[in-house]
Amino acid sequence: MSANAPNMHQTPAQQAADLRETLRHHEHQYYVLDHPEISDAEYDDLIRRLQAIEAEHPDVITPDSPTRRVGGKPREGFQKAGHSSPMLSLDNALDEAELRAFDNRVRELLGGAEYRYVAELKMDGLSLAARYRDGIFEQAITRGDGAIGEDVTENARTIRSLPLRTGASPTADPAFEARGEAVMHHKAFDRLNAQREEQGLSRFANPRNAAAGSLRLLEPGVTASRRLDFYAYFLLDAAGQPIFPSHWESLDWMAAHHFKVNPKRALCRDVEEVISFCNKYEAQREELPYEIDGVVIKIDSIAQQVQLGYTARAPRWAIAFKYAARQVETEVEDILVQVGRTGALTPVAVLAPKVVSGVMVSRATLHNEDEIGRLGLQIGDTVIVERSGDVIPKVVRVKMQGSRRRLFQMPAECPVCGGRVVREEGEAASRCINVNCPARLKESIRHFASRGVMSIDGLGDALIEQLVDGGLVKSVADLYTLTAGQLTALERMGPKSAANIVLNIDRSRFMPLPRVLGSLGIRFVGERTAELLAEHFGTMERIATATVEQLQEAQEVGPKVAESIAEFFREPQNQELIERLRAAGLMFEHMVRRRPDGPLAGFTFVLTGTLPTLKRDEAKFRIEAAGGKVAGSVSKKTTFVVAGEDAGSKLDKARQLEIPVIGETELLAMLPELK
């Protein structure tokens, strides 16, 4: 790709066009082919370069620019939009016999002619029609009632695997339409639910609901963060009619024009081949990164589709083979209680182990007391357990009450530390209120060290267990006094890893205030709230001493969040923790506002490649703390380019513009001493 080293003689429009082409290539590699060629950081860097050009020259912005995927305007509600031709659903075949019956009808209706089937996975999401004009994405409409749906264009635009530009039209007419399924992969789904739990929001029951909910948000920025995918399965002209003579060809055309088409598809010569396709993927269902609920089988030839026509409800040329629900009947032998980071007690059903679609299930989450009440569940009952999109199985309903059933009661004392358990009014969860509860402590450390919080590499579950159980760590603050010697004495810990972990802990001292705030595990204070609080108050001190009213003066902080923050800082044990973290040298001041008097004031740095010891975050933070600026791309305004191993195009650019290139040693020499 040519745009990595932009030619300075190019106009901004040409530079932008080059960058877009490069970005599109990498998006396709990443989102459609699952084969990235560059790192996320390099991708972000390209996006930022394009954003910079577009910000400076708004006239070069095009509607299909990759930068348009985010930042579309929120809207009042969704407008209705009509479909070019009805979006129908399919009749179902629930077993092999029904599939063969379908095939017999088809054979009869086609009067002995040869025919072929296309078998595709039936992805469990929601169907969407994406309209294009002159090869550019124009509008997306949900299925709605099949005739009229909702215009979700701005939200659909945030789906990375939905091409904003296809390069060509399949017909002479500039308008065409791709229909397909918007889905959420398991990974994105689990991440979303974990995040929601953290924020005290309810979980989505399955990826389909999560996908549907995400597409109907009024804030496209939020949809963008939800990571949806779009798999195309129909290509139609402006009138909603097929374009190519066969369905298979239309799938191929879309796959060749930037659409994500599920490669798990087959052209089958007869119903036997269709059945083996269905069986093959039923066996693999658990390993797929997304949820499927069956296989869609379509007659390949469009002429034959026309010949077969439609019933009142559905096409006669297609059918959905539905997999059996992944449910199993089993007995609840006991109900245990687990303690999480916030002290929340989660009841977990201990099941008589059963295999559900190839996976042994022996536990199911019951979420909280209310859920147990809703199910009317008691220990000893026979229940129906389902593995839906959720990785953790859940109890769907009580099938039969046990003859010696017994009521579950939330313990009054924490099962781990014996601390008092309380359930506050209006809350679903009961909590252990002992901040030093080992179960809470382990969860707290896990959270503290996790990526995106204090990012302490190497501090994994096994180590945390040993540290807490061995009494080496009684509070997250103790992490900062650990020595390599202490760690080396632990199981499976060599001197080198021990030294590395101590170094990583040490480094976390440079994490900016919002990260430190987020690390405390204050309920309802996630990444964004922490950022807004730091922005508003500037120091940990001011946040810790603010009243509930004052806290609400920060953006997006309502009474519930303010109360939770104030409550946290009122707790003497938390005050002590804060004091110890301050003594350990963590960042208690918000440094984003650059110090204009720092030694690096007026200097702009660009970082590229991997530096020998400094992490990207840390280098950036320390430069900024010293008054300098860190930019994403090299320009004439750059003072120094700091290059590490595998430095990329930025290094070439620096040479081209004759910007001085330095290494980590030189950078460290410019930075003020620590502490």
Tell me the window of 82-90, 423-431, 473-481, 563-571 that interacts with ligand IVH (CB under 6 A): 82-90
The pattern of x and - marking residues 159 through 188 that bind ligand IVH according to CB under 6 A reads ----------------------x-------
Burial class of residue 103 in the structure, from the number of CB atoms within 10 Å of its CB (0-12 exposed, 13-18 middle, 19+ buried): buried
623 binds ligand IVH (CB under 6 A): no
| Least gap, CB of 311 to ligand IVH (angstroms) | 11
Judged by beta carbon, residue 123 or residue 534, the one nearer ligand IVH is: 123
The residues, ordered by sequence, that sit 6+ positions from 247 with a Cβ below 8 Å of its Cβ are 118, 298, 299, 300, 301, 302, 305
Which of 137, 204, 233, 281: binder of ligand IVH (CB under 6 A)? 233
The residues, ordered by sequence, that sit 6+ positions from 614 with a Cβ below 8 Å of its Cβ are 622, 664, 667, 668
The residues, ordered by sequence, that sit 6+ positions from 9 with a Cβ below 8 Å of its Cβ are none
89 binds ligand IVH (CB under 6 A): yes
Tell me the window of 88-96, 461-469, 514-522, 537-545 that interacts with ligand IVH (CB under 6 A): 88-96
Which of 33, 88, 433, 584: binder of ligand IVH (CB under 6 A)? 88
Q: How many CA atoms lie within 13 A of 14 on its CB side?
A: 8
| Least gap, CB of 258 to ligand IVH (angstroms) | 18
CB 169 within 8 A of CB 254: no
Which of 3, 16, 211, 318: binder of ligand IVH (CB under 6 A)? 318
Which of 296, 456, 614, 641: binder of ligand IVH (CB under 6 A)? 296
Judged by beta carbon, residue 93 or residue 591, the one nearer ligand IVH is: 93
| Least gap, CB of 215 to ligand IVH (angstroms) | 13
315 binds ligand IVH (CB under 6 A): yes
Q: Which helix (H) or strand (E) holds 496?
A: helix 495-507
| Least gap, CB of 314 to ligand IVH (angstroms) | 7
Burial class of residue 32 in the structure, from the number of CB atoms within 10 Å of its CB (0-12 exposed, 13-18 middle, 19+ buried): buried
Q: Which helix (H) or strand (E) holds 297?
A: strand 292-299
Catalytic residue (choose from 122, 394, 442, 650): 122
Longest dimension (CA), the chain: 87
| Least gap, CB of 166 to ligand IVH (angstroms) | 19
Judged by beta carbon, residue 282 or residue 563, the one nearer ligand IVH is: 282
Question: In what side-by-side order are the strands of the sheet with 629-631?
Answer: 629-631, 604-608, 640-643, 661-662
Burial class of residue 390 in the structure, from the number of CB atoms within 10 Å of its CB (0-12 exposed, 13-18 middle, 19+ buried): buried
Number of residues that bind ligand IVH (CB under 6 A): 13
| Least gap, CB of 88 to ligand IVH (angstroms) | 4
98-137 positions binding ligand IVH, by CB under 6 A = 120, 122-123, 127
320 binds ligand IVH (CB under 6 A): yes
Buried b (16+ CB within 10 A) or exposed e, 512-549: bbbbbbbbbbbbbbbeebbbbbbebbbebebbbebeee
Judged by beta carbon, residue 129 or residue 554, the one nearer ligand IVH is: 129
The residues, ordered by sequence, that sit 6+ positions from 134 with a Cβ below 8 Å of its Cβ are 169, 174
260 among known catalytic residues: no
Binding residues for ligand IVH, rule: CB under 6 A, are 88-90, 120, 122-123, 127, 181, 233, 296, 315, 318, 320
Known catalytic residues? Answer: 122
